[in-house]
Structure 1
Amino acid sequence: MYGIDIYNSENRNITIGTNKEKEISLDIYQISSQDTLEELLNEFREGQFSTTLTSKQKLGLLKMLRKNRPAFAIGKEPLGKIKGHDIILYLDVEKLYPPMLRRPPYAASLETRNEIERHINEVLDTDVIRKIGHNEIVEITTPVWITWHDGNSRLCGNLRALNNYTKADRYPIPIIPHSLDKLAKAKYITKMDCMKGIHQNGVTPNSMKLLRIICHMGINE
């Protein structure tokens, strides 16, 4: 026979069989009142929802978003990363690495430098990259530059040299038939397009050293 003290008292005890009561530590959960659709819509008022969703579907979607709140970042919060799928890179050359893998930063105009600083600071604030210290050994660096499209800037890295010395991955993405098999019994199939999703792909520590970028601000990985 099992007994447990569910009251929010100072001493919480549990009884198992005929044993004497043993004091244990229990987490206390507060049961909230039923959330209404209006309350959740107000909480997610900045979101845009399809007009084809029913009220029941909207309520279920909003509850799912709230339940998985740690998976989403707002503002300058850390983006986090996908767990269990860290990328591993293998080079087909040994140390000492070819000079082409240790590149200096590109010369840049004032406008380009300002945009590089803005992009670098953004990914630093969200813990996507970190600055390399002066006492760390650096063997491979990839220079970055800015590309423009429709008036918007984008930070890019010249990975052509690194690609030439990287062993190819035969299966870089899941095989389509295997993915379809996993969805065979699904009643609903949804997809989520994550903003800056590529920044949430994890990389193993040894592989991070191969992906260090360099600019006028220094070296980051």
Structure 2
Amino acid sequence: MNETLFQKTIDIARKTIDDAHLKPGDITDLIMVGGSSRIPRVRKRLQDFLKLPILDVNRQVDIQEAMAIGAAIQAGVLNGAVSTNQLPLSRDIQPFSVRIKTNTGKMYVLIKRNTKLPCEGSITLTYVQKNRNAISFDIYIGEERLAGDNLFLKTIKIEGIPPAPGDLQKITIQMKIDTNGVLNVNASTPGGPSSTLTIQDCSGRYTDEDLC
């Protein structure tokens, strides 16, 4: 009855390993957190997936102590008392891809997930401008192909766009995320108007329903 839930553990592990450009056989040590880590079936599934003769879990690490130290380090970073430059194994990343959707429905990724903060990305698009002096772009975070399956953040709109030769207008979208997770977006045309937008937290948040 719970096999589909157990499979989620494997799916998460596989995606994490792929993001790290590793293979299951490269993993030698494992730290498991939470009550479900004590379920024998979960441990056996992970052991088989990682091709480990013995699932050596939390043998060298006190998991409660590790979590407390991690929380203390992060608190120090947020308060300016600790710099991540002093912590070679600690770094903040953008956990979800940041993308835009055009009026045609096409999606473009400007900042990929797991990019180290601070980070930035940009794209220049060409539009047919006939009878149009304004255009807007929806900003999403997530990894899904369809816009509606991602988390919508805000819309940035650029207005007063002057006529362009051949009715072909170029618009550049630039994104920057600072170490605090603040996203700054700029949309501009060559020598024309521009628009800016600030989003205080673009890391993504789970709803109560997602967590249940």
Give TM-score, length-normalised by structure 2: 0.19
Q: Which has the larger radius of gyration?
A: 1
Greater percentage in strand: 2
Taking CA–CA contacts closer than 8 Å with sequence separation of 6 or more, which of the two structures ends up with the larger relative contact order? Answer: 1
Give TM-score, length-normalised by structure 1: 0.19
